[in-house]
Amino acid sequence: MESRPHLGPAGGVNLQSKLSPYMPTNQKAEAAAQAAAGESSSLEVRYTPAEIEAKWQARWAEQPELYAAEPASSPKQKYYVLEMLPYPSGQLHMGHVRNYSIGDALARYMWMQGYNVLHPMGWDAFGLPAENAALKNDTPPREWTLGNIAAMKRQMNRLGLSYDWRNEVTTCLPDYYRWNQWFFLRMYERGLAYRKKSKVNWCPQCATVLANEQVVAGCCWRHEEQIVEQRDLEQWFLRITNYAQELLDDLSKLEGWPEKVRTMQRNWIGRSEGARVEFEVEDGSAAAEDEEKARKTGTAILPAREGVGGTGQKIAVFTTRIDTIYGATSVQLAPEHPLMKEMAAADPALSNAVAALLEQQRKAREAGDVGAIEKHGAFTGHYAINPFSGERLPVWVGNYILLDYGTGAIMSVPAHDERDYEFAKKYGLEIRVVVLPRRTGETPAEGEVQALLPFTSEDSLLINSGEFNTLGCVESQSKMAAHAEEHGFGNATVTYRLKDWGVSRQRYWGTPIPMIYCPNDGIVPVPDDQLPVLLPDQVEITQQGGSPLARAPEFVNTTCPKCGAKALRETDTMDTFVDSSWYFYRYTDAKNDQAPFDTSTVAYWFPIDQYIGGVEHAILHLIYSRFWTKVMRDLGLVKNDEPVERLFTQGMVIRNGAKMSKSKGNVVSPDEMVERFGADATRMYSLFAAPPDRDLDWQEDGVAGVSRFLGRVWRFAMKHAERAKAAAGKEHPTTDKEMMDALRHPTPASQLILRKLHQTIRKITEDFAGRWHFNTCIAAIMELVNTLTAAEPAIAAGEVPDAVLAEVLRTLTLLLAPFAPYLAFELWEHIGEKENLLRAPWPQFDETLAREEQIEIPVQIKGKLRSVVRVDAEADEQAVRDAALADEKIAALIAGKEIARIIVVPRKLINIVVK
RNA sequence: GCCCGGAUGGCGAAACUGGCAGACGCAGCGGACUUAAAAUCCGCAGACCCGCAAGGGUUGUGGGGGUUCAAGUCCCCCUCCGGGCACCA
């Protein structure tokens, strides 16, 4: 067993495991304490979670099979419950505790429901913090990471989490990351992994490239104050855009996912339907004299003219509103558009203008308000021909045009687009109305339309649009796209906001990309039989940019697998999101050294039945995981289209109104809570303080309250354990003769207790199946215990048979098992149960026992509560009515008044409406 | 600006399809036990008003309207807080 020096008192007492499993040690200690305090001998056993939990931890450590999933050949129905794997920072925080408490409760419940449960855990172990720690503490990343993993694993075990550690996955170990490399090679073979030179987001502090998803408001996601720069680098990309449509379509299948997450992904994929239209750049030589003025400012359209030739260069624009193309009064290019480079090269003034635009963009990014940036632009001096009208439109460069969306160029239609309108107003460009509100009767007056600008509704009619006049917008969109296609200057098309996934990172602590650069053969993939490409241990980590691996000659220098010539290895490593994109498949077969996993085992376990984690992963991790699954499916490795059947995103843990963070100084350490109140109380509080999907306000007094409650449970159970144990020694209490007698002639006390008991079973069972309001489940158990302690005098008076008591204690223990496992195991033993609690069947509720015999019906007069009457639960409408009217208070209040109507809601209320 | 959440006692919250608002817990107050304290147990408790009391009345779920016998819950408008996206053509 591992030592646990950091756990304080609890750690010191665990020698108990050597003693009898039953209670004497506790009792002796307690008796001694009481004797020392000079108290009487009344043996009230005190709840000491430190002792109980240490005892069970030691026992569980000796039973690695306790939480083991059965093999895929099991006849049981499978249930795969998964919590998002943590980054091994070295310390669990309360968010983890909450996440794992939810998952653990569910796993334990499903075990008790008879499922074959897979409940694994692992470590997202590559990543930058290890390199930072190496710089700071001079500790090798590997050592630092593995040390952190050991520490966090101890914390998890201390919490009593039911993980099947046989399938632990640690992403920074070669037996895992070799499969990252293997997948990368498969993707390369299929053209899904490719290399291209591209502008990349560069964080100077991380000294590496960031994915688009890691850029938040123009800044690095890890360094909120750090402006992300743009650099040109050769990078590896994964072609996630090949799956854009499927990723979008399949969102509708994910009915077990929060609508919020699906919406976020839908927006992220950002599909829009529209058309691509080519505008030919005009050959400037044909300019007539009378056009000179317009040419200088670029604020007017030049009419179509015979004989004006194009230069052959084309500007492709993307638009979702091709129906407004006759209203286009300029063409706008992104400052980084390739054509701009050419135009600027020949025109120093334009070159300066473009530089100024880029500078503004950079500044806006620094200021953090990219969206609110003021629009600027410049006329390029060139014209392009509208292929529909033949008109010649001025070509502008605008800072509001994004290079990496659509084609990096637009047609500007000021009358029918807000942004174009704003730009045109500022620069005096023509605003031409081509769409009018759809209306019965005559055309709206010109001035009326002016007041509506920019008019963007598509429920409208076209005007000034040549042969398309009087068509509706939507109708004309398909007609115009077809027209463009027919004449060869455009087509209907779809664009996505989603970009290919740049996976190259100029970092040390990640998966080496398995590629070799050969002077003869170019890019050569590492052959499968040479995997893994091992990450070398001895690499100096510095703050200078570039890939640290490039400074490790023994790594870089290799031979070409094809020709044997001296060659160089790729020195970039993979984005860590690669690691987390498929780790949950590895859990099913973590020791496989022939393949990433066994496909039939995965076929049994997948999809994941329930995934639980923070909403912060709604886009990145969860979209990459879906992509990876689809690629693996196309590789024939898995049968499922989606990895996760049901997703649950839990709320944040906050304290004093803010998310726990070191900078706010409001962090509560799980270790401290566990030490003071025990793991059961800490976990149970995290479920009790709020429903799991809402934010949770951490209050230490609340943890103390839960701890007190567990103490009440403990004392009640210990007081009656012997009687219960005696009864449990017979057949199962519910079929026992004594029990049947008790039910046939129930004393009022037993009846009350059993009713509450079965109401509680019903409540918790229903919640696990649906709402997951564990806060009210725990409240229900508290109510049950309150009922039990209130019944103590009756129990003492012998009004509750042993069999009933045994059934109550047994069931109470089962109900507690998902939420407070240590206490439940301890009580289970005390009441003489031998069976493994984790596999004991979840109690069934008995509707007859749960039913109330008499209920209180509120009596309202004109909607105001005036009295309450007691009636039989099955009382019919007439009986309720009679009871209400017979009530003294009611009779007095309605005396002499005329009754207009009486509303009786069976089992709920009665409302008497008087005139 | 757009899209999601949310607003209920001193605090965390409950009220699942409209039907006794505030379950359960925290903090608080009173009492029992104790030399005392801790621990434990019992009781009180939205606010306001009347009453010595038992009890009774009014009011109350961010604000304003509406539907209904009945609204925390449904509809319309508004305010504030949290989160996400943000020039996506």
Q: Is the CB of A405 under 7 A from strand B?
A: yes
A789 in contact with nucleic chain B (CB within 7 A): yes
The vertex-A418 CA angle with A413 and A424, nearest 5°, equals 55
Nucleic strand B contacts from chain A, 382-401, CB < 7 Å = 399-401
List the one residue out of A699, A680, A713 whose CA is nearest residue A783. Answer: A713
Smallest CA–C1' separation from A868, nucleotide:
B20
* A907 in contact with nucleic chain B (CB within 7 A): no
Point out the nucleotide closest to A270 (alpha carbon to C1′).
B88
Q: What are phi and psi of A72, to 5 degrees?
A: -65, -15
For the four alpha carbons of A588, A589, A591 and A593, in that order, the dihedral sign comes to negative
The pLDDT value recorded for residue A755 is: 93
Could you tell me the two tokens for A248?
Answer: 């979008």
A203-207, A680-684, A704-708, A814-818: the lowest-pLDDT one: A203-207
Mean pLDDT throughout A108-116?
97
Q: For A227, phi and psi rounded to 5 degrees? A: -70, 135
**Number of neighbours of residue A849 by Cβ within 10 angstroms:** 18
pLDDT category of residue A895 using cuts at 50, 70 and 90 = confident
CB A187, CB A242: distance < 8 Å: no
A751 touches strand B (CB under 7 A): no
Is the CB atom of residue A19 positioned under 7 angstroms from any atom of strand B? no
User: Is the model's pLDDT at A192 over the cut of 70?
Assistant: yes
Residue A586 has pLDDT above 90, yes or no: yes
pTM of the model: 0.90
Beta-sheet pairing, A272-282 with A490-495: antiparallel
Residue A34, CB, strand B, below 7 Å: no
DSSP secondary structure of A252-321:
GG-TBS-HHHHHHHHHHH--EEEEEEEEEEE-GGG--GGGHHHHHH--SPBPP-TTPPEEEEEEEEEES-
Find which nucleotide's C1' atom is closest to A373's CA. Answer: B87
Distance of CA A128 to the CA centre of its chain: 22
The four Cα atoms A2, A7, A13, A16 give a dihedral, to 10 degrees, of: -40
* pLDDT in the model for residue A608: 97
Q: Which of residues 845-874 of A touch strand B (CB under 7 A)?
A: 856, 858, 860, 862-866, 868
Q: Check pLDDT > 50 for residue A376.
A: yes
ipTM of the complex: 0.95
The 3-state DSSP class for residue A791 equals coil
Backbone angles phi, psi at A662, to 5 degrees: -60, -40
pLDDT (mean) for A208-234: 71
Average pLDDT over residues A698-702: 91
Q: Is the pLDDT of residue A24 over 60?
A: no
pLDDT at A447: 65
Nearest CA among A121, A83, A126, A93 for reference residue A614: A83
Residue–nucleotide distance: A405 CA to B63 C1' (Å): 43
Evaluate if the CB of A911 falls below 7 Å from strand B.
yes
A301-310, A379-388, A458-467: the lowest-pLDDT one: A301-310
The token pair at A193 is 């992994």
| CA angle A253–A258–A263, rounded 5-degree value | 75
Residue A863 falls in which region: left (phi positive, over 0), alpha (psi -120 to 50) or beta: left
More confident residue, A80 or A801: A80
Average the pLDDT over each of A430-439, A442-451, A478-487, A542-551 and give the range with the smallest value.
Answer: A442-451
Lowest average pLDDT, out of A125-134, A417-426, A494-503, A657-666, goes to A657-666
Query: Per-residue confidence at A5, pLDDT binned at 50, 70, 90?
Result: very low
Indicate if the alpha-carbon torsion angle A886, A888, A890, A891 is positive or negative.
positive
What's residue A749's pLDDT?
86
Residues 51-90 of chain A with CB under 7 A from strand B are none
Give nearest nucleotide to A792 (CA–C1'). Answer: B41
Q: Which nucleotide is nearest to A867 (CA to C1')?
A: B20
Q: Rg of chain A over CA atoms, in angstroms?
A: 36
Cβ of A782 less than 7 A from strand B: yes
- In angstroms, how far is B57 C1' from A899 CA? 23
The tens digit of pLDDT for each residue in A227-270 reads: 777 778 888 999 999 999 999 999 989 989 998 899 899 989 99
Point out the nucleotide closest to A688 (alpha carbon to C1′).
Answer: B25
The gap between A702 CA and B27 C1' (Å) is 10
Query: What pLDDT is recorded for position A33?
Result: 41
How do A229-238 and A501-502 pair as beta strands? antiparallel
The predicted structure's pLDDT at residue A152: 97
Q: What are phi and psi of A134, to 5 degrees?
A: -60, -40
- Residue A524 has a pLDDT of 97
CA-to-CA separations, A47 to A203, A292, A676, A724, in angstroms, rounded:
53, 94, 13, 19
Measured distance CA(A137)–CA(A126) in Å, rounded: 18
**Residue A741 confidence (pLDDT):** 67
- Spatial CB neighbours of A51, under 8 Å, sequence gap ≥ 6: A10, A13, A16, A25, A26, A29
Q: Terminus-to-terminus CA distance in chain A, angstroms?
A: 79
A507-536 residues near strand B (Cβ < 7 Å): none
| B59 C1' to A865 CA distance, Å | 14
CB A463 within 8 A of CB A442: no
Nucleotide with C1' nearest the A332 CA: B89
Highest mean pLDDT among A266-270, A290-294, A363-367, A662-666: A266-270
pLDDT-above-90 percentage for chain A: 56
Report the pLDDT value the prediction gives residue A873, as an integer from 0 to 100.
Answer: 80
- Is the CB of A712 less than 7 A from some atom of nucleic acid strand B? yes
A594-615 per-position pLDDT tens digit: 999 999 999 999 999 999 998 8
* Per-residue pLDDT at A732: 55
Give dist(CA A909, CA A905) in Å, integer. Answer: 5
- Cβ of A894 near strand B (distance < 7 A): no
Is the four-CA dihedral A168, A174, A180, A185 of positive or negative sign?
negative
| Window 792-851 of chain A: CB closer than 7 A to strand B | none
Q: What pLDDT score was predicted for residue A25?
A: 36
CA at A706, C1' at B84: how many angstroms apart?
A: 34
Q: How confident is the model at residue A371 (pLDDT cuts 50, 70, 90)?
A: low
Q: Are strands A272-282 and A909-914 parallel, antiparallel or unpaired?
A: unpaired
Give the closest residue to B56 (Cα–C1′): A866
- Secondary structure (DSSP) of A360-415: HHHHHHHHT-STTPPP-EEEEEEEEE-TTT--EEEEEEETT--TTSTTSEEEE-GG
Residues 872-891 of A with CB within 7 A of strand B: 889
Q: Is the C-beta atom of A104 closer than 7 angstroms to strand B?
A: no
Region A801-824 average pLDDT: 94
What gap in Å lies between CA A494 and CA A496, rounded to an integer?
A: 7
Nucleotides of B under 7 A from a protein CB: 1, 3-6, 11-16, 19-21, 23-27, 37, 39-43, 56-58, 69-71, 82-89
User: For residue A10, what pLDDT is reported?
Assistant: 29
CA→C1' distance for A294 and B62 (Å):
58
Counting residues of chain A whose pLDDT is more than 70, the rounded percentage is 88
Could you tell me the two tokens for A333?
Answer: 């290019």
Q: What is the pLDDT of residues A127-141, one digit of tens each?
A: 988 988 888 888 999
Q: What tokens does A250 get?
A: 């399949």
Mean pLDDT within A855-876: 85
Cis peptide bond N-terminal to A454, omega within 30: yes
**A648-669 tens-digit pLDDT:** 999 989 887 778 877 777 888 9
> What pLDDT score was predicted for residue A274?
92
Q: Count CA atoms closer than 13 A to A129's CA, side-chain side.
A: 11
